[in-house]
Amino acid sequence: MPQILDTTDPDFDAAFAALLSAKREDSPDVDNVVAGIIADVRARGDAAVIELTERFDRIALTPETLRFSPDEIAEAIARVSSEDRAALELAAARIHAYHARQMPRDEEWTDEAGATLGWRWSAVSAAGLYVPGGLASYPSSVLMNAIPAKVAGVGRLAIAVPTPDGQVNPLVLLAAHLSGVDEIYRVGGAQAIAAFAYGTRSIAPVDKITGPGNAFVAAAKRRVFGKVGIDMIAGPSEILVIADKNNDPDWIALDLLSQAEHDESAQSILITDDAGFGRAVVAAVEKRLETLERRAIAGVSWRDFGAVITVRDLDEAAALSNRIAPEHLELCVADPEALSQKTVHAGAIFLGQYTPEAIGDYVGGPNHVLPTARSARFSSGLNVMDFLKRTTLSKMTPEALRAIGPAAARLARSESLEAHGLSVLARLDRLNG
C-alpha cells in the first residue's frame, strides 16, 4: 500500500516532510573504484577501455571494433520494422521542431555612454552522449539527447552505449542515425565517461557529456565535471499527478504506474481534493498491478514510495507541489492552465486529462531528460542551451572610456589591484593629454 496522507491530519506536516526526505536510492559508494578507472583510462587509453569492457561487458574488442562500423549500423537499422521506424521518425520530427524554437538570439546594442555591448551564442565543438545498455537502453533517450545538440549546432556528436554480451538494441542505432550522430562506441560505465573526457587514441575527447547512467556513470560525471561540461546527475524517475474527481481513476492509475514501472526506486504521488477519488485510484492501481508485465518493479515502487495525499483545495495542492518540485507534473483538473501558473517548480507540466506523461516521453516534443530528486527547484530539463555557451562582448570608444573609466579605476584602487587601474588610467592619460 502507498502512503495515504491528508493535510487535515494533525501529523501531516511531519509525514509530508518524511516523504520529501525519504532516501529512495542506495547510492553505493563507488567513488574510489571510479577514480581508479578514470586514472587507468587517462594513463593507458584504449588498452584500459578494452580491458574494462571485457571485464564488465564480457566482450573482446580491439581499437578498430570499439566503434560501430557503418556496415554494422546499416545492418542493425535494416532489422527495424517499418512501424517502429515511422514512430521513431515522428518522434524525432516533433522533438526537433520543439527544440528548434529554443535557439536563443545574439544581441548587440550601444548604450548612452557610447559603449557597444552584447553577446554571441556558439555551440560546443563536440558532445558525448551516454546511453545505458541492456534493458534500460532507450532509443527515445538517444533522440532526446542528440537532437538538442544537433539543433544547437554541435559539430561532432558521439554516443557511448555498452553492449553487454554483445547485445545491442537496433532501435538505439536507428535513433542515433536519425538524429545525426557521428560516432557510436560500444563502451559503457565510468570508462566511457573517462574516454569522452580525456580522450584515447581511438576516441577523441569531447567538451560536454550528457545522458543518464548508473552509479558508476554518475560518479564519473561528477569527477570529470570542470574538465568537460556535464548535464546533471540523474536520479530515479518521479511523477506527481494533481487530479480532481472528474477523472477516470484507471487513467490516473496508469499514469502513476508508468513511472513506477521504470524502477523500484521511482516515485508516484497523487494529490487530490477528493478522498474518495484517491481511494478509487488506489483500487485501480491494485487492479492493474495484477496483470502488468512489470508488476514486480512497479509494485515495489508503489508500495515503498507511492503516496496519495488529500488536500483541502487546489491552492494547497500547488503549495505541496512546489515543495516536491516534481520531475513530471500532471494537472488533471478543470482549469489546468490556471493551476500551472502556481506550480512553478517542476521539470515538465502536462496539462489536462488527455496529456498522459508518456506522451512527453516520446512524441510530445519537449525533452524527457528532466531534473529529479527535487532539483527542479534550480535546474531545467535538457535543452538546446546545454550545448551552447554565451560569449559576452564589450567595445569602448574613447568617449565611453572617458565616461566610465574613472569609476573602474576607483574600484580597482579600492580592491588594491593597481595594474587593473593603470590599464584604464594609461589610456585616459593619453586621451586627456
Strand segments (E) across 102-195: 107-110, 116-123, 126-130, 156-160, 183-185
Does 130 show up as a binding residue in the annotation?
yes
Query: In the range 381-420, which residues lie near its own copies by CB under 8 A?
Result: 381, 383, 385, 389-398, 400-401, 404-408, 410-412, 414-420
Tell me the site size for its own copies, rule CB under 8 A.
125
- Say if residue 341 carries a ligand binding annotation: no
What is the smallest separation between the CB atom of 208 and its own copies, expressed in angstroms? 5
Site for its own copies in 220-249 (CB under 8 A): 222, 225-226, 228-229, 232-233, 248
The verdict on 180 binding its own copies (CB under 8 A) reads no
d(CA 422, CA 432): 15
Instruction: Confirm whether 99 is a catalytic residue.
Output: no
Would you say 265 is a known binding-site residue?
A: no
Q: Which is nearer to its own copies, 53 or 210 (CB)?
A: 210
- Smallest separation (angstroms) from its own copies to the CB of 219: 11
Q: Which of 183, 327, 330, 357 is catalytic?
A: 327
Stretch of 1-9, 118-126, 275-283, 306-314 lying at the interface with its own copies (CB under 8 A): 118-126
Q: Binding pattern to its own copies, positions 14-43, x when CB under 8 A?
A: ------------------------------
Is the distance from CB of 154 to CB of 206 less than 8 angstroms?
A: no
Q: What's the rounded Cα separation, in Å, for the pair 187 and 160?
A: 5
Cβ closest to its own copies, residue 176 vs residue 401? 401
d(CA 206, CA 186): 16
What is the closest distance, in whole angstroms, from the C-beta atom of residue 419 to its own copies in the complex? 4
Are the beta carbons of 127 and 156 closer than 8 angstroms?
yes
Nearer to its own copies (CB atom), residue 66 or residue 149: 149
Burial of 145 from C-beta contacts in 10 A (0-12 / 13-18 / 19+): buried
Q: Which of 99, 177, 238, 328 is catalytic?
A: 328
Cell of 226: 570542470
Residues 266-295 that bind its own copies (CB under 8 A): 288, 292-294
Strand spans (E) along 273-314: 307-310
- Of the pair 157, 298, the CB lying nearest its own copies is at 298
Nearest to 223 by CA among 198, 203, 202, 206: 198
CB of 32 vs its own copies, minimal distance in Å: 11
Q: Is 432 annotated as a binding residue?
A: no
Q: 259 labelled as ligand-binding?
A: yes
The 10 Å Cβ neighbour count of residue 296 is 12
Residue choice 16, 98, 185, 198 for contact with its own copies (CB under 8 A)? 98
328 in catalytic set:
yes
Choose among 320, 317, 311: nearest CA to 331: 317
**DSSP string computed for 198-253:** H--SSS---SEEE----HHHHHHHHHHBTTBEE-------EEEEEE-SSS-HHHHH
Q: CA-to-CA distance for 134 and 162, rounded, in angstroms? A: 8
Q: Per the annotation, where are the binding residues for substrate?
A: 237, 259, 262, 328, 361, 415, 420
List active site positions. 327-328
